[in-house]
Structure 1
């Protein structure tokens, strides 16, 4: 190559290389290093939100997503998990509002028989103003649960109305392409070694959302 041409190309390309190097926050690992990178978790669905509107997984492309499967009658798991997840998100919003705006929290019921849109609206609204509650037919919920590797089964109670749902306790953080990043620590108690689940959730959001 002509020496003068080589020098001209070097001058032109150098700023681009510098820009590329600066675009990745060195304090944040690549999404390729994420704990769930490459896992077969997630996939398109058609479900109904708390306002009765049909929603698909693909319509959230471009957004990070906190996805939690549970149900509103869950006696001692789903409510504290949602409280911790949304408290962590709210703390992240205060610290990094522009980044937090890129996150869509999604609660998907595993009990569509009782969790109607109206029931979900009251439930998710208690935790975060942007939280989305999704329900559907038994087949639609089963399809979504399978794509997210979620287990659920009905446990009969003393009456037909008092049944419980045994289910996976797995809050996923998904990337803007709908791929899994990590399982958020929604149920970690506060100890001498950490400040509890909300702070740990906030730390994970800080680590992965960019």
Structure 2
């Protein structure tokens, strides 16, 4: 059921992306080290942004590992360093310390971002990210869309990728897009 809802969330985001509606924009969050950051903090380097949560039982760990591999592949083939950014949709549980432990499991170059509920709502609205709290076994899971966003060094959205797209194809598209912008 949760995967079906996530698929519906992805579909709800796709018309905005396909119709040329503005996606992305300014944000103010907190990184895994507890520092206040904004979209301007990351200017000058491209980002691969993904929205999920640290308690995700299956999708997020697989997707973050894929993003790390894509970032490495792009760096190795083009020399362009792409920063992998994981933004939580569950700020009630995902504080800076929890984000730090989570992203460090994927390597030293992954950024984890959290913030207040209002800050998370602002950035998820800007990126047209679907998420919803779903009760489960006395706790909850977070149903969420699974779109990966390529954000350029100037902070603009360059491309997006669905999770079914193979890692090699994502890496090739990211590399081609960034190479074309050199």
- What's the CA shift for 1:37? 9.4
Which has a greater percent of strand? 2
Q: Which residue of structure 1 lines up, in the alignment, with residue 145 of structure 2?
A: 168
Deviations 1:133-185 (A, max 9, x none): 000111111111101111111001221xx200011111101112211121134
What pairs with 1:72-91 in structure 2 (closer than 5 Å)? 72-91=54-73
What pairs with 1:4-19 in structure 2 (closer than 5 Å)? none
RMSD (Å), alpha carbons = 1.8
Q: Which residue of structure 2 lines up, in the alignment, with residue 198 of structure 1?
A: 167
- What's the CA shift for 1:125? 1.5
Structure 1 portions without partners, runs of 5+: 1-34, 189-196
The answer to whether 1:122 aligns with 2:105 is: no
Q: Larger radius of gyration, structure 1 or 2?
A: 1
Q: Which residue of structure 2 lines up, in the alignment, with residue 151 of structure 1?
A: 130
CA distance in 2, matches of 1:105, 1:131: 5
- What's the CA shift for 1:80? 0.7
Kept after mapping to 2: 8 A contact 1:85/1:186: no
Q: 1:50 aligns with which of 29, 32, 52?
A: 32
Q: Given the two structures, how large is their TM-score scaled by the length of structure 2? A: 0.82
What pairs with 1:31-46 in structure 2 (closer than 5 Å)? 38-46=20-28
Q: Given the two structures, how large is their TM-score scaled by the length of structure 1? A: 0.72
Kept after mapping to 2: 8 A contact 1:88/1:200: no
Count matched residues. Answer: 163
Kept after mapping to 2: 8 A contact 1:66/1:173: yes
